[in-house]
């Protein structure tokens, strides 16, 4: 009981919980029409901040492709890892710059597959906002894990998923690579495959970095969390991107 009370208090005073509470309390002192509007806003924020609603948005994206087997992976000639951002000047064991929460699972998964079946790893990600290329930070990370420098290929010009596909295709053609394992976050894979198949038809989708736990919902699943709102926002971006490319490709 003490544990539950502690969590309840925490969720109540940390945004968006405190915002929802303040809206409901303020509605008590407002006129009827405005009161209804404020309550609707509070309920909308609450709904968008709980796990079950977040899953409604995220799971259809994450379930677009199943996780392939190692035997399927071994039919491919290279691993392609899409950049997902870096913390450019964050301190690191090997210098400045760390992989973001989205990038790290992608690069780690490529390393795990590499240990099963040694094939070239193509790291795709350029200078999106800063002055350091994502691919260079990822390369340093892989080298620190013991991956041979000759097995790492960096594509450091791309700024979005379309450019990832275009520039990786150029590298693949030069290297004689015919089929690749496309590694990216599960929620991002559907849009990525859509683009890659336009430029590079032989792709094995490999999802990682899942944002849904797939566990049975508990009382804690209905506590408001800001992270759930962020995940819904990322998902809407993916749906809009998928819609746009289906109309324009």
pLDDT at 95: 85
pLDDT at 69 over 80: yes
What is the 8-class DSSP label of residue 244? H
Whole-number Cα distances in Å, 144 to 95, 125, 137? 11, 19, 11
Handedness of CA 87, 130, 136, 177 (dihedral sign): positive
Q: Give the confidence band of 10 by pLDDT, cuts at 50, 70, 90.
A: confident
The answer to whether 153 and 133 have CB atoms below 8 angstroms apart is no
pLDDT at 6: 78
pLDDT one-digit tens code per residue, 95-139:
889 999 999 999 999 999 999 999 999 999 999 887 899 999 999
Strands 203-208 and 121-124, how do they pair?
unpaired
Average confidence (pLDDT) over 203-207:
98
Whole-number Cα distances in Å, 52 to 46, 47, 100, 185, 192? 11, 9, 25, 20, 25
Other Cβ atoms within 10 Å of 233 Cβ, number? 11
Q: Give the confidence band of 147 by pLDDT, cuts at 50, 70, 90.
A: very high
Residue 122 backbone zone (phi > 0: left; psi -120 to 50: alpha; other: beta): beta
With pLDDT > 90 as the criterion, what percentage of the chain qualifies? 80
pLDDT at 210: 97
Whole-number Cα distances in Å, 64 to 58, 76, 186? 10, 20, 8
pLDDT at 201: 82
- Longest CA–CA separation in the chain, Å: 70
Higher per-residue confidence, 10 vs 168: 168
The answer to whether 158 and 196 have CB atoms below 8 angstroms apart is no
Average confidence (pLDDT) over 183-203:
94
Domains and CATH numbers, the chain: 2-62+222-248 (no CATH), 70-208 (3.40.50.620)
- Token pair of 182, please? 């496309």
- Across 109-177, the runs of DSSP E, i.e. the strands, are 121-124, 152-155
Rounded-to-10 torsion of CA 110, 115, 116, 122: 40
Task: Compute the distance between CA of residue 112 and CA of residue 120 in angstroms, rounded to an integer.
Answer: 13
pLDDT at 168: 97
pTM of the model: 0.92
Other Cβ atoms within 10 Å of 37 Cβ, number? 12
Q: What residues does 184 pair with on adjacent strands?
A: 207
pLDDT at 76: 96
The answer to whether 155 and 124 have CB atoms below 8 angstroms apart is yes
- Token pair of 35, please? 């009161």
pLDDT at 218 over 80: yes
CA 131 to chain centre: 22
pLDDT at 195 over 80: yes
Q: Which of 103, 58, 98 is nearest to 82 (CA)?
A: 103
Average confidence (pLDDT) over 223-247:
96
């Amino acid at each position: 009981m003490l544990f539950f009370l502690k969590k309840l208090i925490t969720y109540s005073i940390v945004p968006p919980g405190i915002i929802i509470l303040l809206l409901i309390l303020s509605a008590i002192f407002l006129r009827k029409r405005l009161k209804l509007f404020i309550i609707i806003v509070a309920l909308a924020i609450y709904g968008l901040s709980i796990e079950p609603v977040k899953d409604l948005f995220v799971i259809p994206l994450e379930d677009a492709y199943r996780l392939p087997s190692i035997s399927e992976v071994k039919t491919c000639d290279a691993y392609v890892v899409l950049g997902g951002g870096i913390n450019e000047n964050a301190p690191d064991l090997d210098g400045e710059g760390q992989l973001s929460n989205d990038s790290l699972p992608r690069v780690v998964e490529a390393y795990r597959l590499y240990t099963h079946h040694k094939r070239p790893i193509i790291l795709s990600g350029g200078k999106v906002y800063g002055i350091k290329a994502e691919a260079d930070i990822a390369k340093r990370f892989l080298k620190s894990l013991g991956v041979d420098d000759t097995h790492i290929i960096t594509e450091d010009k791309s700024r979005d998923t379309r450019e990832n596909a275009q520039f990786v295709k150029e590298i693949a053609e030069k290297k004689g690579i015919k089929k690749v394992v496309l590694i990216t976050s599960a929620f991002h894979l559907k849009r990525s495959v859509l683009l890659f198949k336009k430029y590079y038809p032989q792709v094995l989708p490999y999802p990682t970095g899942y944002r849904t736990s797939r566990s049975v919902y508990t009382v804690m699943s209905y506590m408001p969390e800001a992270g759930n709102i962020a995940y819904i926002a990322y998902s809407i971006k993916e749906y809009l991107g998928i819609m746009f490319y289906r109309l324009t490709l």
